[in-house]
Amino acid sequence: MMKRMRILILLCLFSLLPATGGQAADVHTIMAVVNGEIITSYDFQQRWSTIYDRIKADYGDKVYAPNMQEQIKQLKSDLLEQMVNEMIFAQEATRMGIMVSDEEIDDFIRGIKRDKGLDEEAYQRFLQGNGMTEEELRRSIRDDLLKRRMVQSNVASRIVVTDKEIEEEYARRTGLASGGTVRNVTLSVIMAPDQEAMDVILQALDDGMSFADAANEYSIGPAVGSGGDLGLFAFNDLAEPWRKALQDVEEGEISEPFEADDKVVLLQVTHEADGDIAEAMDERTRSAIFEELRRKKFDTLFEEFMELVRERAVVEFK
Q: What percent of the chain has pLDDT over 90?
A: 35
Task: Specify if 233 maps to a domain.
Answer: yes
Task: Specify if 76 maps to a domain.
Answer: no
> How many structural domains is the chain composed of?
1
Taking alpha carbons only, the member of 301, 294, 290 closest to residue 163 is 290
Taking alpha carbons only, the member of 193, 183, 196 closest to residue 273 is 183
38-49 pLDDT, tens per residue? Answer: 999 999 998 898
Does the pLDDT value for residue 89 go beyond 60?
A: yes
28 band by pLDDT with thresholds 50, 70 and 90? confident
Task: Specify if 234 maps to a domain.
Answer: yes
Quick one: pLDDT at residue 157? 63
User: Which range marks the domain in which residue 201 is found?
Assistant: 179-280
Task: Specify if 47 maps to a domain.
Answer: no
197-212 pLDDT, tens per residue? Answer: 999 999 999 999 999 9
CA 80 to chain centre: 24
Q: Please tell me the distance from the alpha carbon of residue 269 to that of residue 249, in angstroms, as a whole number.
A: 7
* CATH code (residue 193): 3.10.50.40
Residues 251, 269: contact at Cβ < 8 Å?
A: yes
| H or E stretch at 269 | strand 263-276
Task: Specify if 246 maps to a domain.
Answer: yes
Task: Specify if 189 maps to a domain.
Answer: yes
Mean pLDDT in residue range 290-303: 86
Task: Specify if 256 maps to a domain.
Answer: yes
* Helices (H), ranges, 1-133: 2-16, 41-59, 66-95, 102-116, 120-129
